[in-house]
Chains A and B, each alone.
Chain A
């Protein structure tokens, strides 16, 4: 703690003790605590550093009229100070701990009603409970019962904190000799007595908590459900992290009540129960030790409850936790999860007569209700891709049948299915037109692209997706997901025979129409789709014969994208720019000369950069050129690209949008990398790794420096790279300044490394123009101390790089922009100022005091 803070702290304590009402804002106390926690974690002792805190605590806890927020703060602060044995002992000496944590006092003062105080009490104790002595204190003070009561507190925050605290006690102090550092029975020769006491305390705590678990886990009446829920959460927390002895003990204690709970089959407890059982499985060991037969049995019973919805959730939880070595239960879970799909679609996923009639008929009943039908179907669909990847042994059908079922469901949903399975008309009606099921099914279909046997279904998949894309009633998100699925399946498709002329024609017609859709979201998805499809082409290993090529060639895509550049919605324009970049990447990689079409696009893009009123398209344009530059085989020999780079740099760095400027600097970086990566001393700025960066490093042999540097630097100046960097350096947006500063440093290290100036004499002759007229040029001139002339001024680049104080600037820029305001000193000052203002306001009523704490 620095001296300034130390000197202000007593004043602050006095203010807090006097009254908490005058705090600048309600986060001040949290910030103070954060600061103290930081100090403690850094190894400092709060007690020694600021004795005033102890004074503060002693005063505050005696004054029950103080704001409960401040009291809560005091409780937590006390816990923090007692977190070390040393601190604990000092506080004990002054019997502060008893005073602070004694419940009776708070209850009598009526302050215990305030959840703020209760949570302060819990968190304070939680901070303190880091050593055995604290545990002894905790147990001796009989705090365990109140804590257990707080577990079902009316305030959810308090209840949750209490649960965490209970778990902390049992886990942190659990006797695990091998794990060793926290256990209460670790051997400390000099304090054998203490150890014993701690062991006893732990045993007492464990006994109390276990007793509570055993007693209260099964709800006596319906209203006690919340308690059971909390205990199950606690059990799950404990079982997930407990070592074997504790775990076994807990399971032994909770075994009977758990069995009762499972037998009771309470819907609301299904998922928490599954969590507990699965946590028990993982920790107690299907994997390492002898499986706990009881847990296995309970798990089986959970997968056999009567309520179809609960069953489904239990099965989903089981599958999610991935205990796939348990073949019997996995098979069972899979069958449960597939049942709704089996019923709704009529696909024989589970064989013809495989499912017990009782379960099937109860599921059918449930599916007749619209809401549960939709939710159950969605659970099934969410799990379908995971199921399709399971080993064949546990699957009741071939994985491709799952794809068929999902497709069939999609058809039913859109109302185009020509028939519904016998007896399920009522069920099918619930999913017709349901956007939620459609979205879930499309997501499932997208994820099923890699499942075994899926490629057989490609043609069917495209038929269904086309139906969705054609459907005028499809919601924009449904269309978007259909497009995503389309791209994904096109990506995995190797057999081009499915690309029929009809499909191609339909798709062309469709994207043309969708590109004119009324809803901009649809136009945007369409444009994005065109880009993604073209992207598949660019990323394909082979140069010919990809499915995306066969579906939509550039001849169809490019005119649509050009049209979309004029769209009324800026997001669509931006997507069109990105999609164009993707669709042209392949050509750039091949080093083909730009076509007339491309030239036209380029001039339109430059127009957008200079005239578009929205930021998104302008950002996209700068990225377009960056991506052109990085995909290009030899960018410097593409005159059009280099011409464009010059105007993008000048316009982009003068843009009003800071992201445009950052992207412009990315382009500048690419240009620098291209020019200087061969120079000794040039280090790539690594915070924005670029795919091309790695390649260029490998392919280029380092050039002898610095003879080439002069011309390269001159070229960079000529292109406007240096001007862009300098203007970025003095930009008022920190991310821009930071990036520019790093790039300038890299440039400095490459062209004028520290050393005898004569070695870099030639480079020093390269100069650049600093424009006049109050802009960035003026700013740089001021920094460099150059006389400002009529118009601009020319400075030597090297000299500028050396004298701009880049290292110091980087220091300032790396710190967050509000670092001054967030410092503890500022916080303390704020509290004092606010208090002063508050007092003044008290004396002069009517005068409003507005405190701006930021």
Chain B
């Protein structure tokens, strides 16, 4: 059993598991942090961005005037942003049989995997994962295609040149593999390969293994996966949460008794408690609005935003913010808000029960009805005429490199009254803000990551007790910035097996058993004999029939009677003569009784020697040795076959035959 690790990002994993005869890809997350190296894509012409000076190396030898721009001491690539894809050279992606997706954030690389690689398999995902994943991809494509950039910068990727660039461009890895965004057509093609599954639904893969998604409590339709054969069980834990937010709670008990547990997607902010951050978010928001400023919340169009809106729904009256408008701007804003309301069966119990009442599960419906929350597909159109300040704007993309958020950064960045509140944990806020410096706007970092923290995961692992844990190497040591916090790492016995990008792990367990079926008539013919109380054995002669990874023992077909044809035919090859197998022996030879028997048969001069495994009997007169050991008996006697046979028969008297 092997695990190929195609992504080094702990929360955007992409691993391939070879298990029995199947090749299963676990998630295909897209590492978008690479876009931080690019200049933002403004929606409206930005004089500031267009006037940025080109970067020239100190000695003036490198001048990529068209490709690299300098802003506040940092260098950015002026090109369509590119993403860091999962590794595609480690194994042939066309051999992947299935892709299991655990949540909509972990499927963003899907088109890169399923298209143009020869992939012919199936993708399994829950319905909300598919639908919201589609929205996020659609949003990404719209963000990119809305502001097309003619040129694509490639010169800077030249190894010689990259070496000369200032950090962090200099340290960016695998830049040649970075790719521009996919197209809508590729998205549609990729998603057409998705087959929907429900929680705990069991899907057979080629009869060899069974996969089944479990609720993971992180987002709508998010799942962990169980991959099991009859005798082995592998659990794949991706983004999971034990907090009571909107999704169905996490199913922990089904993870019990795993041979291997692959653990990914823990919180990226182990020291930031989501409740505390939510509180900070609200108080900073209120403080800014009271002072007459605007609040910008860069966020994804699905996920934590539902919880933020729900929290604000309760908070705005308390904080006297009743008249402040909230805007949600995204090409998929409307769909996202509406989708969330219709996936009732995927919601937590509390919200599910609301479906039976005449009220929608999420309170943002009421915010929309009362005109407190308005949503627009972009800043163009209705929004520009209805826009009123001070206000709160939720918009993407959280990297601040593309999407409507770029416009608001340009618009509000200059006033210290305004505040930008980061809630998505995927990007370093300082890096995200780098191309907007100098910035007067207040910045608040309240990353809300509801995924499991180390404390919770230790408890979980204690409970489910997997034999082996595999996890990204980042989880086996404290975070770099807090090297003394030994509580912020996994400490397990045996220690977890760490992986990094491009690792290939031999998972530390051998398959020892296989299930074989036996046909009823064959079973009827067995004659078991009891070898010790409660244990009976029988020998079976049968034909092993293997098909679709199912093994069946069938009766040995009788040799067909000679065909009653007069015509002489060439005698077909006789079926191999099936000799009855020699009977199997069991039991042990008791020394005293055996010596007595020998004596009866006239063998009296026996010297007994004790060895580590048993005894050696030296029949001195006959010059013969009998070695009695736990698992074997040897009679060494030269050129005296009758004696050997006699001795053999004497030994056999004490043994059981099957």
- Residues of chain A at the chain B interface (Cβ within 8 Å): 415, 417-420, 425-426, 429, 432, 471-474, 512-520, 563, 566-569
Interface string of B271-311 (1 = CB under 8 A from A): 11101111110111111001000000000000000000001
- Residues of chain B at the chain A interface (Cβ within 8 Å): 271-273, 275-280, 282-287, 290, 311, 315, 317-320, 446, 482, 484-487
With the chains together, A568 CA to B286 CA distance in Å? 14
Known contacts being A432-B487, A569-B318, is A516 close to B280, with CB within 8 Å? Answer: no
Q: Is the CB of B486 within 8 A of A472?
A: no
Residue in B closest to A560 when the chains form the complex, CB atoms: B290
With the chains together, A420 CA to B282 CA distance in Å? 34
Chain B hits for A472, CB < 8 A: 272-273, 276-277, 279-280, 446
Q: Is the CB of B315 within 8 A of A518?
A: yes
Q: Is the CB of A563 within 8 A of B290?
A: yes
Q: Is the CB of B279 within 8 A of A519?
A: yes
Chain A hits for B276, CB < 8 A: 471-474
Q: Is the CB of A425 within 8 A of B486?
A: yes
Which of A417, A514, A567 meets B484, CB within 8 Å? A417
Q: Is the CB of B282 within 8 A of A518?
A: yes
With the chains together, A432 CA to B485 CA distance in Å? 9
Main secondary structure of the interface of B (DSSP, over half): helix
Known contacts being A425-B484, A425-B486, is A516 close to B287, with CB within 8 Å? Answer: yes
CB distance from A55 to the nearest CB of B (A): 67
With the chains together, A517 CA to B311 CA distance in Å? 12
With the chains together, A418 CA to B484 CA distance in Å? 7
Q: Is the CB of A419 within 8 A of B283?
A: no
Chain A hits for B277, CB < 8 A: 472
Residue in B closest to A419 when the chains form the complex, CB atoms: B484
Chain B hits for A518, CB < 8 A: 278-279, 282-283, 311, 315, 318
Chain A hits for B286, CB < 8 A: 516
With the chains together, A429 CA to B455 CA distance in Å? 11
CB distance from B481 to the nearest CB of A (A): 10
Q: Is the CB of A513 within 8 A of B486?
A: no
Known A472-B279, A518-B283; 19 more pairs at CB < 8 Å: A415-B482, A419-B484, A425-B484, A471-B276, A472-B272, A472-B276, A472-B277, A473-B272, A473-B275, A513-B280, A514-B283, A515-B287, A516-B283, A516-B286, A517-B279, A517-B282, A518-B279, A568-B318, A568-B319
25 A-B pairs with C-beta separation under 8 A: A415-B271, A415-B485, A418-B484, A420-B484, A426-B486, A471-B276, A472-B272, A472-B276, A472-B280, A474-B276, A512-B287, A513-B280, A513-B284, A516-B282, A516-B285, A516-B286, A516-B287, A516-B290, A516-B319, A517-B282, A518-B282, A518-B311, A519-B279, A520-B318, A566-B320
CB distance from A720 to the nearest CB of B (A): 34
CB distance from B316 to the nearest CB of A (A): 10
Chain B hits for A567, CB < 8 A: 318
With the chains together, A59 CA to B69 CA distance in Å? 109
Residue in A closest to B287 when the chains form the complex, CB atoms: A516
CB distance from A471 to the nearest CB of B (A): 8
With the chains together, A420 CA to B484 CA distance in Å? 7
CB distance from A643 to the nearest CB of B (A): 29
Chain A hits for B482, CB < 8 A: 415
With the chains together, A417 CA to B486 CA distance in Å? 12
With the chains together, A569 CA to B315 CA distance in Å? 12
Chain A hits for B287, CB < 8 A: 512-513, 515-516
Residue in A closest to B279 when the chains form the complex, CB atoms: A518
Chain B hits for A418, CB < 8 A: 484
Chain A hits for B271, CB < 8 A: 415
CB distance from A824 to the nearest CB of B (A): 54
Chain B hits for A429, CB < 8 A: 486-487
CB distance from A776 to the nearest CB of B (A): 37
7 tightest A-B contacts by CB? A472-B276, A516-B286, A473-B276, A568-B318, A516-B283, A472-B280, A473-B273
With the chains together, A425 CA to B487 CA distance in Å? 9
Residue in A closest to B291 when the chains form the complex, CB atoms: A512
Residue in A closest to B278 when the chains form the complex, CB atoms: A518
CB distance from A285 to the nearest CB of B (A): 51
With the chains together, A471 CA to B486 CA distance in Å? 20
With the chains together, A415 CA to B277 CA distance in Å? 16
Chain B hits for A512, CB < 8 A: 287
Chain B hits for A563, CB < 8 A: 290
Chain B hits for A419, CB < 8 A: 484
Q: Is the CB of A568 within 8 A of B278?
A: no
With the chains together, A498 CA to B271 CA distance in Å? 30
Chain A hits for B487, CB < 8 A: 429, 432
Chain B hits for A420, CB < 8 A: 484
Residue in A closest to B311 when the chains form the complex, CB atoms: A518
Chain A hits for B282, CB < 8 A: 516-518
CB distance from A45 to the nearest CB of B (A): 67
Chain A hits for B318, CB < 8 A: 518, 520, 567-569
Which residue, A415, A514, A518, A569, has most C-beta atoms of chain B within 10 A? Answer: A518
With the chains together, A45 CA to B321 CA distance in Å? 73
With the chains together, A391 CA to B489 CA distance in Å? 45
With the chains together, A471 CA to B273 CA distance in Å? 10
With the chains together, A563 CA to B286 CA distance in Å? 12
With the chains together, A512 CA to B283 CA distance in Å? 9
CB distance from A590 to the nearest CB of B (A): 31
Chain B hits for A520, CB < 8 A: 318
Chain B hits for A519, CB < 8 A: 279
Which residue, A471, A516, A517, A569, has most C-beta atoms of chain B within 10 A? Answer: A516
Chain B hits for A513, CB < 8 A: 280, 283-284, 287
With the chains together, A568 CA to B318 CA distance in Å? 5
CB distance from B364 to the nearest CB of A (A): 18
Residue in A closest to B455 when the chains form the complex, CB atoms: A433
With the chains together, A472 CA to B278 CA distance in Å? 9
Chain A hits for B486, CB < 8 A: 425-426, 429
With the chains together, A415 CA to B485 CA distance in Å? 8
Residue in A closest to B319 when the chains form the complex, CB atoms: A516
Residue in B closest to A473 when the chains form the complex, CB atoms: B276
With the chains together, A39 CA to B330 CA distance in Å? 84
Residue in B closest to A426 when the chains form the complex, CB atoms: B486
CB distance from A706 to the nearest CB of B (A): 54
With the chains together, A569 CA to B319 CA distance in Å? 10
CB distance from A514 to the nearest CB of B (A): 7
CB distance from B416 to the nearest CB of A (A): 12
With the chains together, A563 CA to B315 CA distance in Å? 16
Q: Is the CB of A568 within 8 A of B317?
A: yes
Chain A hits for B273, CB < 8 A: 472-473
With the chains together, A432 CA to B487 CA distance in Å? 9
With the chains together, A425 CA to B318 CA distance in Å? 43
Chain B hits for A432, CB < 8 A: 485, 487
CB distance from A576 to the nearest CB of B (A): 13
Chain B hits for A473, CB < 8 A: 272-273, 275-276
Residue in A closest to B314 when the chains form the complex, CB atoms: A518
CB distance from B443 to the nearest CB of A (A): 13
Which residue, A472, A474, A512, A513, has most C-beta atoms of chain B within 10 A? Answer: A472
Chain B hits for A515, CB < 8 A: 287
Residue in A closest to B275 when the chains form the complex, CB atoms: A473
With the chains together, A648 CA to B317 CA distance in Å? 29
Chain A hits for B317, CB < 8 A: 568
With the chains together, A566 CA to B282 CA distance in Å? 17
Residue in A closest to B289 when the chains form the complex, CB atoms: A516
Chain A hits for B275, CB < 8 A: 473
Chain B hits for A568, CB < 8 A: 317-320
With the chains together, A520 CA to B315 CA distance in Å? 11
Residue in A closest to B286 when the chains form the complex, CB atoms: A516
Residue in A closest to B478 when the chains form the complex, CB atoms: A425
Residue in A closest to B320 when the chains form the complex, CB atoms: A566
With the chains together, A512 CA to B319 CA distance in Å? 13
Residue in A closest to B446 when the chains form the complex, CB atoms: A472
Chain A hits for B272, CB < 8 A: 472-473
CB distance from A559 to the nearest CB of B (A): 10
With the chains together, A420 CA to B483 CA distance in Å? 10
With the chains together, A474 CA to B275 CA distance in Å? 10
With the chains together, A472 CA to B286 CA distance in Å? 15
CB distance from A164 to the nearest CB of B (A): 47
